[in-house]
Every structure is written in C-alpha cells, then in structure tokens.
Amino acid sequence: MAENASITPIEKLGPEYEEALALSGLIDDVEDTTPLEPRRYRYTEGESICSAGDTAECLWIIVNGSVAIKLNGQTLFVRRRNEVIGEQHLAGNGYQRVYDLVANESIVDVLVIDRTNIETHPEAGIIWRNIAKIISIKLRNTTRKTASLSRHLADDTRILHAYTNQYALSRRMQSGSEQQAEYLIERAIIWFSDVVGFSKFTLNTPPERVADIVQRFFNAQTSPVLDRGGHIDKFIGDGLMAFWVMKGKVEDASSICSDAVRAAEQSVKNVNEIRIGNEPLALRIGLHIGLVVSGDFGSATRHQFTMIGTEVNKAARLEQIHSEDILDGHSKLGSIRVSREFWNELDTVSRKKFSKKLTARAKNIGVMELFTN
C-alpha cells in the first residue's frame, strides 16, 4: 500500500473493517473508496461463501478468521485476515468460479465488494492494477511453494525408494494411496542370501566398522539383483530377500531364471572380494520358483509389502542347508543352491553350472531335491 493512500471512512464499517480494507492492497493510491460500497458479512465454520460454477460477481476481504480455498473437496490454500479472495475470476464477463470458498473458523467476517462497483468507480484503472498486483503476489508465492513442495516430494521419493522396492510402489499406486496393496497369487523367483560366518565379527568389532562392512556386502548383492530386473524385498540381519515376478509368457521363465543366476554369480564374486583382515567373506544363496501370495502384510497400524507361502519358506531353507543336512549326493555344497523347480526352468547351458544333484532334509519342509554349483 502506498504511504500516502487516502482512505475515506465508510459509514458503519468500524475501524477493524477499515483497517482490513486498507491493508488488503485493494485500495492502494485510491482517493475515494466510497463508491466501492463494501458490505459486511459473517459466516460460521463450514458455511459456503461461494461454490465452483457460481458467476464471479464480487470479491471478498477477510476481516476476521480464515477461508479455505477448495477444489473437489480438497483444501488447496487457506487465506487469512486482511487478504483478498475471489479476485482472480472477476476479469472475464460472466466468469465462473473454479473453486469453493468455505469459512474455515467458527466466526469469519468479510467485506464484500461487487464487481460492478469496481467497474464504475472513477479510479477503476487503479483498482484493477491493484487487483493485478494482488494476483501477481499470490502467483509468486504459489510458485515458491510449488518449488518447495517439489523439493520435498523429490526428497520423500528418494526416502520411499530407500525403504521399499519399485514393484511394491507400483502395486500400492494401483490400489490407491489410502489402500494397502491388494493380495495376489503370483509365480515368482524367490532369493534368500546370507553372509557366511559374519555374525562372529559383530560383537568384537567397532559398530562403525560393522556398519561399513554390512553396507558393502549389501551393495555387492543389491546392484546385481537390480541390474538383472529383480527387486529387493528386505534385509534380514546380514541376510537378504529378493524376488522376480513372472509377468510374461511361461516360456519367459527360463530367461528370468537365467538373469537370477547371473545376479547370484556376480553377488558371490562381489562379496568374496570383501575381506575382514585377510579373511574373505562368503555368500550362500538359495533360489526357488513357485506360487506365492504377495501384498501388504502386518498389523492395523504398520504393514510391509512382501511375499509369503510355502515356496518362500523353501527358498529360505535352500540357503540354510548345511553339509550335515545332506541325505544323498555330493557332500560339498556350493555357494548357490537351486531347487528342482528352478533348475527345470533353466536352459541347457545354465543347467550345466549346477551339475551337483543332492537331496537334503530341510527344517519344517522335509526332504528337498536341489542342485548346486
């Protein structure tokens, strides 16, 4: 507002209303405000000031309380004391409101100024200039808020990707932001891996050193899995669960199983290159394919997208089999163990990599047939 703006007292409005009119910016540099004939109105919380689709015939200045600007029931902005609202839709002849304006507090006092009084005012050009300035300020502030929200959204997205996988995100998006991911029965490759003997180092090694090693061996596995189209389900201590979902034709399973094998081979190599002193780390991996139930599982207040079922348990037991569990076949277990069902899906070249056939007793599963490298 210009410092020398002249404000003509308006009968019966009272000082509070005059102040709101002056501070709103609408009458900056206007010599005579009398022709505007502002009128006082009071609303209670939840009452509609105007609705989308109404003809824009006036604007309002908030004297007390606040007003919510809504679109399809969602609050976009909240305007407060001494702010102008409803000005953006006055420029067009018979222009319609786009938003709902709703009283946002128990008592909301406003001044109403009709468009016709602005158009017929002797200083209409100045008032329209002031309206344009008000709109410009709001647009600038909105642009800043949008930029800030974009930064927050980017930060939130990075955090979200750090705590869940892309497949889980897509499933949740399909279910809607307020819904858990629906439960599906899917055919999937399940991967369980574990770093051999790492636990013995944890209590006698500085925590920062433990954290560094853990990050290194998880990075060593995560990159090959993601590079080959897999998804990380969760980290379990020094173990990892991952999966590939069979979405294409049945014959595509062979190609996806081969991708899982290549990811496993690279992970074993990567982890083996990590040493504690002169002792290299080693990795065990179990790979199985079968039908699983996927979706958001948990309590009413906290849940997580994952896969459950007998086939998931089989993959976990494959990784955990030790020499003493072997019933028949080669006594030496390789770093990668695959189930009979997984082996059946492999091409001839990949099958040759897993030429050792064994049967073993797996806890809570029974006798399993497996192949190892």
Summarize pLDDT for 290-337 with one digit per residue, the tens: 999 998 888 877 778 899 999 999 999 999 998 888 888 766 889 999
More confident residue, 250 or 146: 146
Instruction: Give residue 176's pLDDT.
Output: 63
DSSP-assigned letters across all residues of 250-274:
GGGHHHHHHHHHHHHHHHHHHHHT-
* Three-class secondary structure of residue 225 per DSSP: helix
Q: Kindly report the CA angle at 79 between 78 and 83, in degrees rounded to 5?
A: 170
pLDDT digits (tens, 9 = 90+) for 196-240: 988 888 878 888 899 999 999 999 999 999 999 999 999 998 899
More confident residue, 82 or 9: 82
Instruction: Give residue 247's pLDDT.
Output: 79
pLDDT for residue 251 is more than 80:
no
Distance CA 289, CA 103 (A): 58
Residue 169: its H or E element: helix 166-175
Instruction: Give residue 197's pLDDT.
Output: 83
Query: 1, exposed or middle or buried, with CB in 10 Å at 0-12, 13-18, 19+?
Result: middle
Angle between helices 253-272 and 207-227 (to 10 degrees): 150
Instruction: Give residue 58's pLDDT.
Output: 93
pLDDT digits (tens, 9 = 90+) for 144-162: 877 877 787 777 667 666 6
Average the pLDDT over each of 45-59, 71-85, 169-183, 331-345 and give the range with the smallest value: 169-183
Phi–psi pair at 157, nearest 5 degrees: -65, -40
Instruction: Give residue 241's pLDDT.
Output: 96
pLDDT digits (tens, 9 = 90+) for 328-368: 876 688 999 999 999 999 999 889 999 899 998 988 888 98
Q: What average pLDDT does the segment 173-181 reach?
A: 65
Distance CA 111, CA 41 (A): 6
